[in-house]
Structure 1
Amino acid sequence: MLFLLCLDQREILVHNLMPGPGSTSRQCSSCCMSLNVACKTCKFCKAVQPRKLRLSKRMDKFDTKANTWVQAQKKNKTSSHLWDQAALVPRPLYCRVNLSVPVLDRFFNDQDTRPDFRLSRESLKVLLELLGQDRRHGWGATIETLVFLFWLASGASCRVVSRVFGMPRSTVHRIVHRVTEEVVAIRHQVIHLPRTAEDLEAVSRGFAELARHRAFRKAAGAINGCHVRIVPPSGPDGHCYRNRKLFSSILLQAVSDHQGRFIDTYVGWPGSVHDSRVLRHSPLYRRAL
């Protein structure tokens, strides 16, 4: 009976301390004075409220686990320099890297990145250097670039990518749009026609070696077009995007060198337009004239 009585008194005490439905006040866990529900520290006895203590303990526990994992990776010499840099940046609890995500675990342990991102580790390093975004807030340039590349490589929706990386779907949506704008802004640093006579000679010589005929020494690139599938816009002009293969698309015209690297791109025309018309209106054709 005494034990049951103690339990009843404890339930009454907890009930009195916790705010009721719609209430904006609560009692201090130490001195039982009336406080606002958002108050972190009692203004009378200066006692930290239990909710704040629980959150602080959770953050300390996470920091301890993360630091232990980092030290173990450094001791085994399996961590990359990218993770070492990312681990030094202090981040809030809501944007910490989830160490249990298999994609990130494979990346930070120097495994092959091509199955997940369709890019080699060397290409990833070059892309990160070109973007050059040293963010001290959010998820960081490395994580955001990986999310963007996984979205491109898999062709999956933001819902699927958010589950893969363990982050909110709205965050994936913002990351994809922001990194896309950054990549478009630097595309001319990578995609450009040969700028010197030596570069043009190297491309021509490469085509001649591939074709094993000297006539191709006058070739400066290989041009072709492809249809990029889209959801057609609503309205009377939606049928203009339906191509000869009976699906809606926009046209991409690309020129590549002898190594298969893009040296010129032009995109945006509806799928029903002929390739020759796209070529006549492209900046490449106008510069050739």
Structure 2
Amino acid sequence: MHIDLQGKRALVTASSGGIGFAIAKGLLATGAEVILNGRNESSLSKAKDSLLAEFSSATLSTVAADLGSAEGCAALIKAVPKVDILVNNAGIYGPEDFFETDDDTWARYWQTNVMSGVRLSRAYLPTMQENGWGRVVFISSESARNIPADMIHYGVSKTAQLSLSRGLAKRVAGSGVTVNSVLPGPTLSDGFEAMFADEAEKTGKSVEELGAEFVMAHRASSVIQRPATTAEVANMVVYVCSQQASATSGAALRVDGGVVDDIV
């Protein structure tokens, strides 16, 4: 299958590293123009240089904006008024006991994980509808369906993304625009690797080995019995953004290695 997105403009939020960076790289490989977003100018510049070293003729730009606030989203929308592809990857996570999670924490997760996607989708979907083509993808999580007891606030925000993407898909039905969610499971992202860096040095084991041990200890239902790579997650996202995925909309597409133990 050859995916060709030449002439399409894609915005990938939180794309200076991790899954977002891998998605940006995958979209560049299809010929799409890509806008990177993150909170830090320095990390965005490094990400841009890294991608241009591989895709020297690519059209690639950056916009620094913190999407955890309405003002940050507005700044990004002002800098990038129109896109054909929107990948809502911005998100925060972290364990915290339910009884110690205060209102401010709930509000911070809601603003970043949910409202950033609401605001950007509200801004970009109308033009996609007018053009008769567009792709919106929410990067949710297997935690949307398999709510972690130690991160209930995070799980709730990820479940909300599934409702949002399904509702938007129905709202733009018949327009040629698709809206979907992609649900990664444990993934060898920058944060995941950093979490195991000290243990890897102490034990001499690779991060991949330690990741597999973590998965079997904490996500024993995994079918692949290891974390996914960021490229494996990106592959699903790139397909969903493609011309070939025109009949896929309103879906929650899992790249969780089979962690969620059901057949639907």
Q: TM-score, normalised on structure 2?
A: 0.23
Query: Higher Cα Rg: structure 1 or 2?
Result: 1
Q: Whose relative contact order is higher, 1 or 2, with alpha carbons under 8 Å and at least 6 apart?
A: 2
> TM-score if structure 1 supplies the norm length?
0.22
